[in-house]
Amino acid sequence: MPTLMSPVARPKDSNAARSPERRSPGRGGAIIAASVLGSSLAFIDGSVVNVALPTLARDLDAGPASLAWTINAYLLPLGALILFGGACGDHYGRRRLFVLGIASFLVASVLSSLAPSLPWLLAGRALQGIGAALLMPNSLALLGAHFEGEERGRAIGTWAAAGAVAGAIGPVVGGWIVDLAGWRPIFLVNLPIGAGAIWLALRHAEESRDRRAAPSLDWLGGVTATFGLGALVWALTAAAEAGTPRLALIGATTGGIALLAGFLWIEARRGDAAMMPFGLFGTRAFVGLSLLTFLLYAALGGLIVLLPFALIGLGHYSAVQAGAAMLPIPLLIGAGSRPMGRVAARVGGRPLLATGSAIVAVGLALYARIGREALDYWRDVLPPA
What are the pLDDT digits (tens) for 145-164? Answer: 887 776 776 777 777 777 77
pLDDT of residue 385: 43
Count structural domains, the chain.
1
Give the pLDDT mean for 153-179.
Answer: 76
* Cβ proximity of 374 and 309 under 8 Å: yes
- With bands split at pLDDT 50, 70 and 90, how would you rate the model's confidence at 14? very low
Domain residues for 35? Answer: 2-12+25-218+275-381
Residue 272: Cβ-neighbour burial (10 angstroms; 0-12, 13-18, 19+): exposed
Residue type, 86: G
- Stronger pLDDT, 383 or 227, i.e. the higher one: 227
Give the pLDDT mean for 268-294.
Answer: 79
- With bands split at pLDDT 50, 70 and 90, how would you rate the model's confidence at 55? confident
Has residue 154 been placed in a domain? yes
Has residue 230 been placed in a domain? no
- With bands split at pLDDT 50, 70 and 90, how would you rate the model's confidence at 62? confident
Q: What is the pTM of this model?
A: 0.72
Has residue 311 been placed in a domain? yes
Inform me whether the pLDDT recorded for 364 exceeds 70: yes
CATH number of the CATH domain containing 124 = 1.20.1250.20
Return the C-alpha torsion angle 57, 59, 60, 65, nearest 10.
0
Has residue 209 been placed in a domain? yes
Fill in the DSSP letter of residue 271. G
Has residue 18 been placed in a domain? no
Give the pLDDT mean for 301-329.
Answer: 73
- With bands split at pLDDT 50, 70 and 90, how would you rate the model's confidence at 143? confident
Residues listed for the chain = 385
Has residue 300 been placed in a domain? yes
Highest mean pLDDT among 55-64, 75-84, 125-134, 178-187: 125-134
Has residue 266 been placed in a domain? no
Inform me whether the pLDDT recorded for 349 exceeds 70: yes
Phi-psi region of 182 (alpha: psi -120 to 50; beta: other; left: phi over 0): left
Q: What percent of the chain has pLDDT over 90?
A: 15
Give the pLDDT mean for 108-113.
Answer: 94
Average pLDDT of the chain to the nearest whole number = 78
Q: What is the pLDDT of residues 203-243, one digit of tens each?
A: 888 888 766 666 677 788 878 887 888 788 778 777 766 67
Inform me whether the pLDDT recorded for 250 exceeds 80: yes
Inform me whether the pLDDT recorded for 258 exceeds 90: yes
Has residue 284 been placed in a domain? yes
